[in-house]
Amino acid sequence: MYNDDIMEAARHAPVVSNATIAALERQIELSGSHAVAVDHSWRAPARKRTSHGDEPEDYIPRDVPDLENQLSDSTDDDEQHAVSVSVDPALASLVANLGDASARLQSRQRAAHTLAQDLARKETFPIEQLEACSPVGALMELAEADDTSLTLQLVLSCLTNLSSTAPKLVAQCCPAVPELLLRSLNGAETDAALRSYALIAAYNLCHEETVMAALERAGAAPVVRGLAMHCVAGGDEAKHAAELQRALKRCSSSKRPSSARPSSAANILSRVSSFSRGRGRRGAD
């Protein structure tokens, strides 16, 4: 369960909006035309529509590809992903499809697209349901199966929107999440389209010590500094990169005092000892 402080932080976390995710839909179609035939074997069940009221001022929407009208009916139920009866069937179906290694890549990408859209509406799935049917593992499997820029953008969209509601749920999937973030940040050095997705996903986890510590140990700091040089000053990417650098620096600094204190103390003792010996010699003279 999440305490009030975590919930308050989540209210101000940016998300990848449906407008941004919509841009990825065209890429899925293009990738399918060059790779595999369009898979119409799966359709997302009808999703709950809830009123989410006014969004916070710093709510940052990101577009998710709009694939809803391209998905056809499905008669298959995935029995391999048993979930609690309290979990929304739409969420259970999405997670099952994401983790189905036998499904076509486009089908899994569509599931990620739909999940990112749903998670952009922060009240679509209650946190308790997300805890009972966490999609993070399935998302990691998809990213492992296909590490192209498009798939990474879709997976990062889901992680960003999920962490805007339940950051602990994402952070607890270590070391897979930090590894994915570092891989995406490295790829973003030469992939401008991936850069904003990688930075915002990492930004939403800046206060998760386990994730930041893993990134810092893996050498993410110079990578983020390099990405920051390509960000437009004052823009969202620059803001995310700057905060990420601060979070990594905090992790680095927190390791220094324990190792630095003994040497500092030793230096002080050495100076005191030298000073005492000098006074002793002058007294003897």
> Tokens representing 283?
């007294």
Residue among 185, 166, 187 nearest 237 (CA): 185
Domain boundaries, the chain: 1-42+60-67+83-169, 174-256
Task: State how far the Cα of 216 lies from the Cα of 71, in Å rounded to an integer.
Answer: 41
pLDDT, one tens digit per residue, over 112-139 is 999 999 999 877 899 899 988 889 999 9
| Spatial CB neighbours of 29, under 8 Å, sequence gap ≥ 6 | 38
Task: State how far the Cα of 199 lies from the Cα of 136, in Å rounded to an integer.
Answer: 18
The pTM assigned to this predicted structure is: 0.68
pLDDT, one tens digit per residue, over 33-92 is 443 322 323 333 333 333 333 333 333 334 454 444 433 343 344 444 444 448 999 999
Integer angstrom CA distances of residue 66 from 26, 27, 70: 9, 11, 9
